[in-house]
């Protein structure tokens, strides 16, 4: 891995962490963060940037592209539920997890499209 690729991965992890922070803040109406929550955001974004594209690529190799994306999204919901939502003041944990994951994926898709159009590069490989 070259220095540029490593820098791009780090930028992608930071960007996805901000996207999940924004999503969880919108759902919970809680805009403050502390140290453990920042670490949880970093872990969720690391999983979103590195593990989920691996699962989607593996499913693509097996010939079940849509099933792989669905499995990756369900995995993201579980990760968000057990890592992020534990710290948030919400009444329904699973509903908040689904909404945070959905908002996160939509915002990641928007960032990916903006990166493709303006910079002609694939910044995030999640979508």
- Supply the DSSP string of 19-80, one letter for each residue: HHHHHHHHHH------HHHHHHHHHHHHIIIIIHHHHHHHHHHHT-HHHHHHHHHHHHHHHI
Q: Report the mean per-residue pLDDT for the chain.
A: 85
pLDDT value of position 4: 75
Average pLDDT over residues 83-87: 89
Q: What is the pLDDT of residues 10-33, one digit of tens each?
A: 888 899 999 999 999 999 988 888
Average pLDDT over residues 26-48: 91
Average pLDDT over residues 83-107: 90
Per-domain boundaries in the chain: 3-119
- pTM to 2 decimals? 0.85
């Amino acid at each position: 891995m070259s220095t540029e690729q490593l820098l791009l991965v780090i930028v992608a992890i930071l960007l996805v962490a901000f996207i999940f922070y924004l999503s969880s803040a919108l759902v919970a109406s809680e805009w403050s963060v502390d140290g453990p929550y920042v670490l949880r955001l970093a872990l969720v974004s690391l999983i979103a940037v590195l593990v989920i594209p691996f699962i989607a690529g593996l499913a693509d190799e097996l010939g079940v592209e849509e099933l792989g994306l669905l499995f990756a999204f369900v995995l993201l919901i579980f990760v968000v539920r057990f890592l992020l939502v534990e710290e948030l003041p919400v009444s329904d944990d699973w509903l908040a997890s689904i909404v945070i994951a959905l908002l996160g994926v939509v915002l990641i898709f928007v960032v990916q499209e903006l990166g493709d159009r303006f910079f002609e590069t694939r910044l995030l490989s999640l979508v």
